[in-house]
Structure 1
Amino acid sequence: MKEWTREERYRVLQGADDIRGLYESIKESDYRQTYHVQPITGLSSDPNGFVYHKGIWHLFYQWCPWGAVHGLKYWYHSVSKDLVHWENRGVGIYPDSFYDNKGVHSGSGFSTGDDLYLFYTGNHRDEDWVRTPYTCVAKLEDSGELVKAPQPLFGPHENYTEHQRDPKVVYDEDTQQYYILLGAQSKDLKGKVLIYRSDSLLEGWTFAGELQVPGFEDLGGMWECPSIERISGKDVLVFSPQYTTLPNRNQSTNHNIYLLGKMDYKNLTFTAEGNYRHLDYGFDFYAAQFAANDGDPDRAVLTAWMGLPDNHYPTEAEDWEGSLTLPRELRLVNNRLLQRPVPALASLRKEAVVLDEELPRVCELEISNQQGQDFELKLFSKKDGSGGFCISYDGQAKLCTVDRSQMDQHFNAELGECLTVPLEDELTKLAVYIDKSSVEIFINDGQATFTSHLYPTKQEAYYSASSHLDLQAWLLKPAVTDDFVV
């Protein structure tokens, strides 16, 4: 693993020629995704500014161009008309002002009329490397240029640590005010969401207080990337608690959870109905963000970073790492949040194929009519049947398990290589989406999901399945351009 100096990590990108050679090397990687958004070079992390505006889905993400390392962050911009076919637009926001001199960190988008605004955390550091986070805004012009406001909306609150970031902007019809939800850490090292309010989107922001979430005051030491959406009349609060372990998550201390309940903006309280649930039970899922301005009151659209803070992956040796998950459609059914790939993903299906022994590197698998029976499905095993990524189900206990410990390439093994989720219902259906370096699993039409990076070797090209499984397979067309746009 390469050791990076601070100067290397925070080097300023002067132009496309700085990384053109790196891109030419990276694009030949065996692990470049075909229908997932990914960086042209370097590292991608949190999705940012996810919003529908004037017929286009805009999706930005945290990008460090130099390699698989966290350093000087930019917002990289991708666009789509259907949430499936994505095009690179290049850097959206540069860290080129006093207030974001060491990075434009995460935030959200807000569409109002003909105008699209992007709210982000400006990461400022002084000569002694002391951090000051600012909440900033930029406007996306019709020309595609992003124009920053000359001053931040507000700076950090003195009663909290330097960890104040990831603004999520919402408008509440009841109070007829705008609100910013900000992930934060109290000085006694507990996770918080701070709330600012204003009558105007671009000025007059004042600190309203902490969001009260009764029953969850001690959940983690930092709450990153808060996001909130109303689905079928019920509020869904999403955030990423850090610095704590949780049940069914092995040794990981970075999580992504949600609460169902009622948001009261007047009294700054979220009243949860029941316990938290994990958005995803896999190894590599974090910093999920709802898309703004979807327009459908009975669904929300969400994507996440396919990765975790501090994790390392095999493509680090190739100077790139990361991708975003498939955009997911979330709906409430019988008071449960179901996640499915957006319907347009079905347009990527080519012909149905009958699997022999070899497993295509890019495909969709579906198991139906399972009837709650025990089963085992091994992906990317070797010709002799050994190894592989194993998905298994214990029908009596209603436990679904994913195990990547038998793959040749191990990564982040210290956090655990086997994860199990208890299901409320019998497992009757399983959908699996495989790309060049990932697998996403949807159980029972999205009652639970697993997301994981995988890096199969050339010898890991086969599969096996319990004989009773009704398994269908489709090859998938590419949907994400890998064009060099800076």
Structure 2
Amino acid sequence: MRYHIISIAALLLSTMALQAQTLDIEHLAGGNTIVRVSEPQNTRYLLLPIEEKAPEAPVKIICGNDLSRTISVRLALDKVDYMVPLDLSEWAGEDIKFLIHLPVDRATGRDAQNEICWSKMKLSDVIDTENREIFRPAYHHTPEYGWMNDPNGMFYKDGEWHLYYQWGPHGSMWNNLTWGHSVSRDLIHWEYRPEAIKPDALGYIFSGSCVVDHNNTAGFGKDAVIALYTSAAEVQSQSLAYSLDGGDTFIKYPGNPILTADIADFRDPNMFWNEEIGKWNLILACGQEMRIYTSDNLIDWKEESRFGQSYGSHDGVWECPDLFKLSVEGTSEEKWVLFCNINPGGPSGGSATQYFIGDFDGSKFTLDNPEMYLDGKALWQDYGKDHYAAVSFSNAPDGRHTMIAWMSNWEYANNVPTMQFRSANTIAREPFLYNVDGKVYLGSRPSPEYAGTGLDKTVKVKGSCTVTLSNENGEEFVITYDQKAMTLSCDRSRSGMVDFSQHFNTVATAPVCRRITSFRIFVDNCSVEVFANDGEVCMTSLVFPSQPLNTVTVNKIK
């Protein structure tokens, strides 16, 4: 992961620049304050002091006399947990001011103009992103700073993997969602790119997908990158943007939104070119079902069918769909897999990724073995507590379907013990299908880029056993395989910090279809990812140990 370190020269230059730039802070009635930036063309960032237990304060960004954007910020009242940058370059050369309402209760004797945030707010030409978090992963993707949840719009082009993600740049708790952007050539080392798609009058930028339009079907140019995403405000609708520079910057389609509906939960468009019908397909999460559409041009969409009634888990809202075809290993058979992320309703509580296997004719998805999904039964891509919003990269090389998920859970994602950033992604995985007693199941292997890197541990086992990951402080993460009961469980109750949420101190358990003979385990500074039998069963867990879990012990169970 790349971090920027402030040099002494940069600090000196920043100090000289600040001598010519000031913040004019004027307190008004009712907890309102106007902050003016003098000579904004000469400074890059307004640094905002954040206190996470403070209430959210609405900040109106006013350019000239027009409202440019409104963000919500937990401005510090009693202490500063950390600083976040507000990039001013968008308004360079403009008259810019901020109208801030600090929601403090005057009945308690507090006066908004006396809060600590005003003395700590400052201008700077640089931001300090040197890592201060002991739990920041060494080889998993994280945001440079701020909040992150679902991976979005992922695609591969010209040797680069593009990962967009739900990003909250103005604090490390969910809000102000936009698309962050990172790029990698090996799925391990990531380079941060500027914010890709920013909120607008239609709302926050929620999840979506990107494709490379090789044949210029949308009319924006051959090989243009097309993004569909959910615009989320009072209602949720689908919008389009396109990129002519390989995904670094996007131009929003003037006819947005391009797809609307009369339901509240209408989001997360996932599109792909279907060679079998010569059209684009689109899968949309709509309440507790998926809607399937077709299009010739990525702009005009026709609803073809709906899927989901009576099948799988319906204990939460359906989100973040994906749909693609895979071969069944060891056979000449191919099957379509429909992924449906759900929150809550996961097998260990909270959010998780369920899947459905069947056939797809370009307009309708038909289940195989529907009895496997009736009466609330579900199949899960990962039975751990911290695997959600799994989606694949489009245009991946060599026909691959490479997936990445958000490595957290909505039950406690806002409260995990980091502040400079929150949330990481799983390692990239390659899904596959395998047959057991005439029924087909989904597995996921670590992507081949991780082979030989020394990041993982491989353990051979025979029969019931425990595999314990531990450190010198006695903290441990225990994997238990019960061959008789045909279950696999992960216990993190003694793995380090667990008391920040009542939902975290849990044991996750997965059913096993056939005997386990090996584990491949990826351990990082805040996570353990377990792949049994080369990925036939997967379990992903966050951990927060005081020292790395660097010792592996295997014990047989009689």
The alignment status of 1:82 with 2:186, answered yes or no, reads yes
Letter matched to residue 433 of structure 1: F
Rate the CA distance shift 1:282–1:116 in 2: closer, same or farther, 3 A.
Answer: same
Separation (CA, whole Å) in 1 of partners of 2:194 and 2:72: 19
Q: 1:14 pairs with 82, 87, 93, which one?
A: 87
SS of residue matched to 1:7:
strand
Normalised TM-score (structure 2): 0.70
Rate the CA distance shift 1:38–1:45 in 2: closer, same or farther, 3 A.
Answer: same
Structure 1: any 5+ residue segments left out of the alignment?
Answer: 125-130, 186-190, 350-362, 470-486
Rate the CA distance shift 1:82–1:408 in 2: closer, same or farther, 3 A.
Answer: closer
Q: 2:441 pairs with 321, 326, 336, which one?
A: 336
SS of residue matched to 1:24:
coil
User: How far did 1:392 drift?
Assistant: 1.6
User: How far did 1:309 drift?
Assistant: 2.2
- Look up the match of 1:346: 451
Q: 1:301 pairs with 376, 383, 402, which one?
A: 402
Q: How does 1:429-440 map to 2 (within 5 A)?
A: 429-440=518-529
Q: 1:406 pairs with 466, 491, 494, which one?
A: 494
- Look up the match of 2:465: 375
User: How far did 1:253 drift?
Assistant: 3.6
- Look up the match of 1:427: 516
Q: 1:33 pairs with 137, 154, 172, which one?
A: 137
Q: How does 1:224-263 map to 2 (within 5 A)?
A: 224-232=319-327, 233-243=334-344, 245=345, 249-250=347-348, 252-263=349-360
- Look up the match of 1:364: 456
- Look up the match of 1:120: 229
Deviating more after overlay: 440-449 vs 276-285: 276-285
Q: 2:318 pairs with 218, 223, 227, which one?
A: 223
User: How far did 1:209 drift?
Assistant: 5.2
User: How far did 1:283 drift?
Assistant: 1.2
Residues 66, 319 of structure 1: 8 Å contact kept: no
Q: How does 1:125-140 map to 2 (within 5 A)?
A: 131-140=234-243
User: How far did 1:67 drift?
Assistant: 2.5
- Kindly provide the CA deviation profile for residues 441-480 of structure 1, in whole angstroms up to 9, marking residues without a partner as x: 100000011111111114x7563513579xxxxxxxxxxx
The alignment status of 1:65 with 2:169, answered yes or no, reads yes
- Look up the match of 1:474: none
- Look up the match of 1:212: 307
User: How far did 1:210 drift?
Assistant: 4.6
Normalised TM-score (structure 1): 0.80
Identity among equivalent positions (%) equals 27
Letter matched to residue 468 of structure 2: K
- Look up the match of 1:477: none
User: How far did 1:218 drift?
Assistant: 6.8
Residues 195, 210 of structure 1: 8 Å contact kept: yes
User: How far did 1:165 drift?
Assistant: 0.7
- Look up the match of 1:397: 485
- Kindly provide the CA deviation profile for residues 233-269 of structure 1, in whole angstroms up to 9, marking residues without a partner as x: 31110011234x45xx24x142211111112333x33
Letter matched to residue 87 of structure 2: Q
SS of residue matched to 2:450:
helix
Letter matched to residue 117 of structure 1: I
The alignment status of 1:198 with 2:306, answered yes or no, reads no
- Look up the match of 2:422: 321
Separation (CA, whole Å) in 1 of partners of 2:552 and 2:186: 34
- Kindly provide the CA deviation profile for residues 140-197 of structure 1, in whole angstroms up to 9, marking residues without a partner as x: 2227322211221424312x2x211101012333433222211111xxxxx0212333
SS of residue matched to 2:534:
coil
Separation (CA, whole Å) in 1 of partners of 2:138 and 2:125: 20
Separation (CA, whole Å) in 1 of partners of 2:179 and 2:207: 8
Residues 224, 241 of structure 1: 8 Å contact kept: yes
- Look up the match of 1:472: none
Rate the CA distance shift 1:183–1:424 in 2: closer, same or farther, 3 A.
Answer: same
Residues 429, 443 of structure 1: 8 Å contact kept: yes
Q: Tell me: higher relative CO, structure 1 or 2? Use CA pairs within 8 A at least 6 residues apart.
A: 1
Separation (CA, whole Å) in 2 of partners of 1:340 and 1:323: 19
User: How far did 1:388 drift?
Assistant: 1.4
Question: Larger Rg: 1 or 2?
Answer: 2
Residues 312, 379 of structure 2: 8 Å contact kept: no
Q: How many residues align?
A: 426
Separation (CA, whole Å) in 2 of partners of 1:453 and 1:141: 38
- Look up the match of 1:446: 535
Deviating more after overlay: 253-262 vs 32-41: 253-262
Rate the CA distance shift 1:333–1:402 in 2: closer, same or farther, 3 A.
Answer: same
User: How far did 1:29 drift?
Assistant: 1.2
User: How far did 1:6 drift?
Assistant: 5.0
Structure 2: any 5+ residue segments left out of the alignment?
Answer: 1-51, 60-70, 74-84, 90-121, 215-222, 328-333
User: How far did 1:346 drift?
Assistant: 1.9
Q: How does 1:280-299 map to 2 (within 5 A)?
A: 280-297=382-399, 299=400
Letter matched to residue 341 of structure 1: P
- Look up the match of 1:465: 553
- Kindly provide the CA deviation profile for residues 342-385 of structure 1, in whole angstroms up to 9, marking residues without a partner as x: 11112422xxxxxxxxxxxxx421102x122x2222223445xx
User: How far did 1:84 drift?
Assistant: 2.8
Residues 258, 300 of structure 2: 8 Å contact kept: no
Residues 350, 409 of structure 2: 8 Å contact kept: no
Separation (CA, whole Å) in 1 of partners of 2:496 and 2:156: 41
Letter matched to residue 346 of structure 1: A
Separation (CA, whole Å) in 2 of partners of 1:436 and 1:295: 30
Residues 240, 255 of structure 1: 8 Å contact kept: yes
